[in-house]
Amino acid sequence: MFIKYKLLWGGIFHKKLRLFLSVIGIIIGVASLLLMNSFGESAKIKTLKEIETFGPEVMIVVAGSVRVHGGRAIQTEITTTLKPSDAEALRKIKGIKYLSPVFNGEGIVRYLGNNLTTIINGVNEEYLLLRKFPILEGRNFLKDEILGYKKVAILGYKVKKELFGNENPIGKIILINKLPFRVIGVLSPIGIDASNADQDDQILIPWSVAISAVYNVDYIRSIYLSVENFKKIHLIEKQINKILLKRHKVSEKNKDFEIVKAEDILQVKTQTTKLFSTLVKSISILCLFVGALGVTAIMTLSVNERKKEIGIRKALGAEDKNILFQFLAESIFITFFGGAIGILIGVAGSLIFLPLFDYPLVFPWIPILTSALLTIFAGIIAGIYPAYKATRIEPIILLKQGF
Amino acid sequence: MVKKLVILKNITKSYKTGKISYQVLKGINLEVEEEDFLAIMGASGSGKSTLLNIIGLLDKPNSGIYILDGQEVSKLNKKELAYLRNRKIGFVFQAFYLVPWATALENVLLPLLYRGNITKEDEKKAIELLKRLGLEKRINARPNELSGGEQQRVAIARALITNPKLLLADEPTGNLDSKSSQEVMSIFKELNENGITIIMVTHDPEIADFAKKVKIIKDGTFIK
């Protein structure tokens, strides 16, 4: 039994270096295809996870016009027309669960000898509930602290670590832009959210204090709100739009605010990811087929070199179909061999690079399967021409020393 | 009455090289009886290899009749010819044509690959054949580890594994030294005595002497 297969396929291993060289293209193609596929899968999961931190029931009214670029909402100009009174007006809409005016800016924070620059977010007591940010130590703001302009602060996890290390910060006084604030809480680690902002690198303070004492302005940058029932989000979005247009005395065309939903961010993100992964997948498939072309070239060379072998096989009774299958099988085997190495490299690469770039680890079953099927397909494509050429060789070449 | 294994009637064959056509065989008539040992001699370009190609079903004549073992074969298709080559004919070539990456044993078994399967009995038979040809120590050697004489004996074993009625040899000693040539020829003689019909092409009169009959071909026809 063994001899049968050795006689059928033994020729593949005859020239090992060449075998390896001929499959390099396939290896690269399959490895990159697999790597990109698992990155794509992982990115999808990552995006969904990020969106989860930014629930489907959340909306943001942003002052000025917003461009969503690369999944990131960028405020293109600063507008001063969004006022705290707008937030109060929106609170009257039925179906709104939580609402928080937000004013954010940079601030220099100091505790004893430690200095750092971070994002200062002026919010109210509903913000944490709305964003579903869990508190690690201490407590949330009280309504009275917001209304009463109390200088209290909740620290993001990284800020706490950098300012206090392992020290308990609760009750300690920190300076934000030289103003003293009492620390009342620390957030659990959250990570980067859907707007690409690191939620661990921030300090939350009452918005009333932020606009008055810290930044001295009379406007806010945005209003975060969540709805009771996310199915009604479009309806509520329309109402918000209507109210604000009226209050700001602007038309739809030159409006000075923008409403952003999780849905919008998700859409842009998936579009970008899709475009990127389609591009890379196309290149990988191209690479795979260039690799297949390499196998075709090597196999054609091999057929030419093995004319005598083909001739003798035919003289001994091989039919065209035997020769065709032999060489087709060689091409498929070679391609598949390269594909297998490519899959190994791709899997190893995924396991190494996914955690390295902070992507969730997914084992790429489906990419492995598609890569395997694609290589078999590539092998058949690669093998057709040389196998056909092999069948054209006639055994009379064996006796061609003159007539 | 002795049965005729090969009957050729008025066989012609021409080749085209560019626009010029060469008439290589000009009406060959030949009858070979079973258990015959025929040597066909001729100079280079006389048409002897073309004739052997036709007898060996490796090539088709342009015209004429070829009856092999009672069957008219000049009109058969490629598949049928491959089948007959496998069942009826054994080949021994000047350049041995062993598969370089396969062992002696594997080379001997190659013709059986095209009958479907290679069984344990086939393996035993191949080893027997190699032993009979004095290669018991070379069974697992590759062609490049064998001397010319040994390679040719492997090739003979490969030709015999299918129990052919007809053994065709094309200059079987052409690449061998005189000692190996003598060995190969005595094997041929013994095979012939055991009932195998042999047709051999050679230009060496000493080698032709081993045959029972000698025919000389010149310019596409037999002159003797």
Judged by average pLDDT, the poorest of A35-39, B95-99, B184-188 is: A35-39
Judged by average pLDDT, the poorest of A5-9, A127-131, B12-16, B91-95 is: A5-9
Confidence tier at A238 by pLDDT (50, 70, 90)? very high
Burial of A145 (0-12, 13-18, 19+ CB in 10 A): buried
Q: Is a pLDDT exceeding 90 seen at residue A366?
A: no
> Which of A131, A132, A133 has the alpha carbon at shortest distance from A59?
A131
- CA-CA distances (angstroms) from residue B154 to A4, A218, B90? 18, 101, 13
Touching A: B residues 135-154, CB under 8 Å: none
Q: Which residue of B has its CA nearest to A309?
A: B99
Q: A14 vs B36, which has greater pLDDT?
A: B36
The residue whose two tokens read 């196999």 is A299
Written as six digits, the tokens of A247 are: 């209050």
A249-270: per-residue pLDDT in tens?
Answer: 988 888 888 888 877 777 777 7
Q: CB A402 to CB B49 under 8 A?
A: yes
Confidence tier at A68 by pLDDT (50, 70, 90)? low
| Predicted local distance difference test score (pLDDT) of residue A194 | 66
Burial of B90 (0-12, 13-18, 19+ CB in 10 A): buried
Confidence tier at A72 by pLDDT (50, 70, 90)? low
Q: Where are the domains positioned within chain B? A: 39-60+86-222
Q: Across chain B, what does the average pLDDT equal?
A: 92
Q: Nearest by CB to B102, which of A7, A316, A403?
A: A7
Share of chain A above pLDDT 70, in %: 94
- Type and span of the H or E element at A173: strand A173-176
The residue whose two tokens read 């370009």 is B45
Judged by average pLDDT, the poorest of A362-366, B107-111, B124-128 is: A362-366
| Predicted local distance difference test score (pLDDT) of residue A403 | 36
Confidence tier at A184 by pLDDT (50, 70, 90)? very high
Confidence tier at A66 by pLDDT (50, 70, 90)? low
Distance separating alpha carbons of residues B81 and B73, to the nearest angstrom: 8
Q: Where are the domains positioned within chain A? A: 2-49+268-399, 80-255
Collapsing DSSP to helix, strand or coil, B90 comes out as strand
Judged by average pLDDT, the poorest of A141-155, A277-291, A322-336 is: A277-291
B73-91: per-residue pLDDT in tens?
Answer: 988 999 999 999 999 999 9
Is residue A211 within 8 A of residue A220, CB to CB? The reply is yes
Collapsing DSSP to helix, strand or coil, A252 comes out as coil
Distance separating alpha carbons of residues A2 and A7, to the nearest angstrom: 9
ipTM, 2 decimals?
0.92
Q: Which residue of A has its CA nearest to B87?
A: A317
Touching B: A residues 284-343, CB under 8 Å: 308-309, 311-320, 322
Q: CB B58 to CB A395 under 8 A?
A: yes
Q: CB B97 to CB A320 under 8 A?
A: no
Distance separating alpha carbons of residues A3 and B126, to the nearest angstrom: 12
Q: Any chain A CB within 8 A of the CB of B42?
A: no
Distance separating alpha carbons of residues A360 and A350, to the nearest angstrom: 10
- CA-CA distances (angstroms) from residue A215 to A9, A118, A148? 78, 14, 17
Distance separating alpha carbons of residues A139 and A160, to the nearest angstrom: 14
Q: Nearest by CB to A14, which of B101, B114, B171?
A: B101
Collapsing DSSP to helix, strand or coil, B47 comes out as coil
Q: Which residue of A has its CA nearest to B164?
A: A316
Q: Is a pLDDT exceeding 80 seen at residue B129?
A: yes
Q: A274 vs A78, which has greater pLDDT?
A: A274
Q: Is a pLDDT exceeding 90 seen at residue B193?
A: yes
Confidence tier at A79 by pLDDT (50, 70, 90)? confident
Range from A47-61, A265-279, B141-155 that averages highest in pLDDT = B141-155
How far is A334 from chain B, CA to nearest CA, in Å? Answer: 17
| Predicted local distance difference test score (pLDDT) of residue A402 | 38
Q: What is the mean pLDDT of residues B108-114?
A: 93
Q: A34 vs B37, which has greater pLDDT?
A: B37
Q: Is a pLDDT exceeding 50 seen at residue A335?
A: yes
Is residue B34 within 8 A of residue B70, CB to CB? The reply is no
Distance separating alpha carbons of residues A251 and A263, to the nearest angstrom: 24
How far is A379 from chain B, CA to nearest CA, in Å? Answer: 23
Judged by average pLDDT, the poorest of A178-187, A230-239, B33-42, B149-158 is: A230-239
The residue whose two tokens read 């196309």 is A282
Q: What is the mean pLDDT of residues A104-117?
A: 92
Confidence tier at B158 by pLDDT (50, 70, 90)? very high
Is residue A162 within 8 A of residue A109, CB to CB? The reply is no
Q: Across chain A, what does the average pLDDT equal?
A: 87
Q: Is a pLDDT exceeding 70 seen at residue A400?
A: no
Q: Any chain A CB within 8 A of the CB of B222?
A: no
Q: B144 vs B18, which has greater pLDDT?
A: B144
Confidence tier at A29 by pLDDT (50, 70, 90)? confident
Kindly list the residues from chain A whose CB atom is less than 8 angstroms away from the CB atom of residue B52.
399
Kindly list the residues from chain B whose CB atom is less than 8 angstroms away from the CB atom of residue A8.
113
pTM: 0.70
CA A126 to chain CA centroid, Å, is: 30
Confidence tier at B194 by pLDDT (50, 70, 90)? very high
Written as six digits, the tokens of A329 are: 């099988």
Q: Any chain A CB within 8 A of the CB of B101?
A: yes
Write down the architecture of domain B39-60+86-222 according to CATH. Answer: 3-Layer(aba) Sandwich (3.40)
- DSSP3 helix / strand / coil % (chain A, rounded to 5): 55, 20, 25
- Position B48, amino acid: K
Q: What is the mean pLDDT of residues A103-119?
A: 92
Kindly list the residues from chain A whose CB atom is less than 8 angstroms away from the CB atom of residue B93.
312, 398-399
